[in-house]
A and B are shown apart, each in its own frame.
Chain A
Amino acid sequence: MTSSPIEKVASATPETVARRIRGLSDRTIAWIFVGPSILLLLAVNIFPLIWTVRLSFTDFRVNRPNNEVSFVGLENYRRVLTDGDIWQTMQATAHFLIWTIVLQVLIGFALAWLINKKFRGNDLWTTIIVLPMMLSPAVVGNFWTFLYQPQIGLFNYAVTFFTGGDPAGFSMIGDVNLAPWAIVIADTWMWTPFVMLICLAGLRSIPDSIYEAAECDRASKWRQFWTLTVPMVLPFLMLAVLFRGIENFKMFDLVVQLTGGGPGNATELTSINLKREAFERWRTGYASAYAVILFVTVFGLASIYVKALNRVKQR
């Protein structure tokens, strides 16, 4: 028998310990195994969550710890929901969410469909396409500001190379109208491979025999695509949209490094707005209420979506 490191550790376990454990029931072992994880999650996830909810009913400010904290009821929630800036933020977030999802679904599906044609070397190229999504969004986002520089930036150069015009004539991250697109482009570059991989798994799960049957029935390629391929990939595609939706709703690192929410508040997505309230303006109670509202929104939307997804799957 080969002696892997794990086996060495196991055989090094003293007899006495082993004997003590022998007496334990499965039930006890189950709790010993699950317990530490639950404890850690309670301490680092649930406890802060409850604390956030509690803070959301107070006027506590982190930067003034000596001020008396008073209970203000639902005042913070009322202020969040009536704040004009928040609706601006929501619009920016909606623009970002909708366009990233639309572009990533279209490009991701198209790529998966092409890769599934199994041309030679498709594995290698798939791996290359996947690379951006595994990298640190903050570090890469920061570098995209360099690519977006007017005049010297590679992006501006490439765009004006094909369209003509002056590479110094526009600034993707300095212009109120272009900045929302700058973050959409960077996010699409980064996360299209995610949608692509999931679609590819969907395409590969379709058995060849179905297409052979369709061919016998003389269904056109066009018809096969819309009545076989698309419906069978749909559950996978919906799953990809769910993941991208949740991730981009809480988007922070890439965008904060790219535009910092600017210019003005043109790209101030919810997470960036929340960070400003909590860690720059130090309105802790207000920010907590805001956080609770966001969490409930994501959770609610995700639950409804998962129900819809399950219905599609069952069909």
Chain B
Amino acid sequence: MSYSVTEPSNETKWIAGILVIGYAIITILPLLWIIATGFKSSTDAIAYPPKVLFEPTLEGYVNLFTTRTRVTESDFAALPPPTTWYETIVRDQGLIIAGPSRYGERFLNSVIIGFGSTILCMVLGTAAAYAFSRFRVPLKDDLMFFILSTRMMPPIAVAIPIFLMFRSIGLSDTHLGMILLYTAVNLSLSVWLLKGFIDEIPVEYEEAALIDGYTRFQAFIKVVLPQAAAGIASTAIFCLIFAWNEYAFAVLLTSGNAQTAPPFIPTIIGTSGKDWPAVAAGATIFLMPVMVFTILLRKHLLRGITFGAVRK
């Protein structure tokens, strides 16, 4: 092996590795704790000292998806034996199932609003980004800065008029209203990122296509889009994650019908106070897809979180 002055020595590497891994383990602990708590019984969850080894149970998950109620002892004794595994788990707590909880609905709302706004945002964003990248749009720099500056406003500050506006046109607490809102919020990020990706595609490809008799529109669809596919996909994941995680608008503008999971999960309570295993179960199901996406995205992560300001 050749000697290099810039290559760190083996000892340096070892020390650096140990320190970074130590930090990684500390930083991942709260997340592991969420996952573990979801599989604990309610007594194990609040045990002292905190239990690392415990008997796993699906109690939290069952409680997450059901509402339960207490019945008198004589009624309880008179019940026929439980027929399903989840009924057994509820009966063991001395309760009976009263019906499904709202978690399923809220999760579905998150899916609908997240995907709806992401798709709309990609359609609008790709078109706008292409125009900004290839054409001489008047006031281009001002428009780009304007799009970016919409991110500086605290969401609460615009929530008042949006609340009034949605109420007057019947969009409050609807999926469509939230999809439009999240699309607008994400548009700045997606136009900014996509312009960067499209800028990197050599303009010669389109010129060749135009000479071959393609129209501008065909060239955009057949030449530019396939080449920008990776960029579009990673931008889409960023928009999806943002819409998925958004809380401020969701808590202020939705209540019954279109409420997403983030405002709902903290409100999960059991029959006696906060049901932490159920909260943790709800959080685990909700956070898991984002963890997977993050791992898929890791190459483009930096670009996404910095609005394309840092590319590599």
Q: Do A and B bind each other?
A: yes
A266: chain B residues at CB < 8 Å are none
Known: A34-B128, A157-B50. A197 touches B184 (CB 8 A): no
- Check if A6 is an interface residue, CB within 8 A of chain B: yes
A298 to B157, CA, bound (A): 12
Q: How far apart sit A236 and B311, CA to CA, in the bound complex (Å)? A: 11
What chain B residues lie within 8 Å of A284 (beta carbons)?
A: 160
Q: Does any Cβ of A come within 8 Å of B176's Cβ?
A: no
Contact with B along A110-142 (1 / 0, CB 8 A): 010011011111110111111111111111101
Q: CB distance B48 to A167 under 8 Å?
A: yes
Contact of B164 with A51 in the complex, beta carbons under 8 Å: yes
Query: Which of A41, A47, A119, A250 is B187 in contact with, Cβ under 8 Å?
Result: A41
Residues of B152-167 contacting chain A, CB below 8 A: 152-165
Contact assessment for B287 and A139 in the assembled complex, using a CB-CB cutoff below 8 Å? yes
> In residues 27-80 of chain A, which contact B (Cβ within 8 Å)?
27, 29-34, 36-38, 40-41, 43-45, 47-49, 51-52, 55, 62
CB distance from A52 to the nearest CB of B (A): 5
B194 to chain A, nearest CB (A): 11
A103 part of interface (Cβ distance < 8 Å) = no
Interface residues on B, range: 35 or more
Check if A29 sits within 8 Å of B294, measured CB to CB.
no
Q: Are B157 and A274 in contact (CB under 8 A)?
A: yes
**B56-64, B67-75, B96-104, B129-137 - interface stretch:** B129-137
Q: Is B271 an interface residue (CB 8 A)?
A: no
In the assembled complex, B170 has its CB within 8 A of some CB on chain A: no
Q: Which chain B residues (166-193) contact chain A, with CB distance < 8 Å?
A: 180-181, 183-185, 187-188, 191
A183 within 8 A of B: no
A204 within 8 A of B: yes
Q: Would B46 and A152 count as touching, CB distance under 8 A?
A: yes
**Which chain B residues in 247-270 approach chain A with CB under 8 Å?**
247-248, 251-252, 261-263, 265-266
A18 touches B218 (CB 8 A): yes
- B86 close to chain A: CB less than 8 A: no
User: A19: nearest residue on chain B (CB-CB)?
Assistant: B215
On whether the beta carbons of A134 and B291 are closer than 8 Å, the reply is yes
The residue that B150 contacts in the complex, of A4, A45, A144, A239, with Cβ under 8 A, is: A45
Measured between beta carbons, the chain B residues less than 8 angstroms from A18 are 215, 217-218
The winner among B50, B132, B157 for most chain A CB atoms within 10 A is: B157
| CB atoms of A29 and B216 under 8 A apart | yes
Q: How far is the CA of A201 from the CA of B286 in the complex (A)?
A: 30
Distance A291 CA – B156 CA, assembled complex (angstroms): 8
Instruction: Please measure, in the bound complex, the distance between the C-alpha atom of A240 and the C-alpha atom of B295, giving whole angstroms.
Output: 22
What does the 1/0 interface line of B224-253 toward A look like (CB < 8 Å)? Answer: 011001000000000001001101100110
Does A48 lie within 8 Å of B29, measured CB to CB?
Answer: no
Interface majority SS on A: helix, strand, loop or mixed? helix
A259 contacts B by Cβ under 8 Å: no
A10 at the interface (CB under 8 A from B): yes
Contact B137–A278 (Cβ < 8 Å) = no
B312, A208: Cβ atoms under 8 Å? no
Residues of B within 8 A of A119 (CB): 13-14, 16-17, 20
Find the B residue at minimum CB distance from A205: B312
- A132 to B188: give the CA distance in the assembly, Å: 23
Query: Does B127 sit at the interface, judged by CB under 8 A?
Result: yes
Please state if B287 and A135 are interface contacts (CB–CB under 8 Å): yes
**In the bound complex, CA of A130 to CA of B183 (Å):** 25
Residues from chain B with Cβ under 8 Å of A24 in the complex: 216-217
Partner of B127, one of A37, A128, A136: A37
In B267-299, the 8 Å CB interface with A consists of 276, 279-280, 283, 286-287, 290-291, 293-295, 298
Contact A278 B128 (CB under 8 A): no
Kindly state whether residue A83 has any CB partner on chain B within 8 Å.
no
Which residues of chain A are near B241, meaning CB under 8 Å? 134
When the two chains form their complex, are residues B263 and A48 in contact, meaning their CB atoms are under 8 A apart?
no
Chain A nearest Cβ from B307, distance in angstroms = 8
- Cβ–Cβ contact B247 & A117, under 8 A: no
Q: Are A115 and B20 in contact (CB under 8 A)?
A: yes
Residues of B near A249 (CB, < 8 A) are: 154
- Contact B287–A44 (Cβ < 8 Å): no
Instruction: Decide if A9 is an interface residue (CB 8 Å cutoff).
Output: yes
Query: Does B95 belong to the interface (CB within 8 Å)?
Result: no
Identify which of B124, B160, B226, B302 contacts A7 (C-beta below 8 A).
Answer: B226
Q: Is B2 an interface residue, CB under 8 A from the partner?
A: no
Tell me how far the C-beta of A197 lies from the nearest C-beta in chain B, rounded to whole angstroms. Answer: 5
CA distance A150 to B229 in the complex (A): 50
Distance of A59 Cα from B153 Cα, bound (Å): 22
Of the candidates B5, B185, B262, B302, the one whose C-beta lies within 8 Å of that of A138 is B262
Judge if B111 is at the interface, Cβ distance under 8 Å.
no
In the complex, the answer to whether B20 meets A45 with C-beta atoms within 8 Å is no
Nearest B residue to A278 by beta-carbon distance? B160
8 A-B pairs in the complex with CB atoms less than 8 angstroms apart: A7-B226, A18-B217, A48-B160, A131-B294, A146-B280, A194-B305, A200-B302, A291-B156
CB-CB nearest 5 A-B residue pairs: A291-B157, A44-B184, A119-B17, A250-B154, A138-B247
Q: With contacts A192-B27, A201-B310, A211-B5 known, what are 12 further pairs, Cβ within 8 A?
A: A7-B221, A18-B217, A45-B150, A47-B161, A51-B164, A135-B287, A139-B283, A143-B34, A147-B30, A157-B50, A279-B159, A291-B158
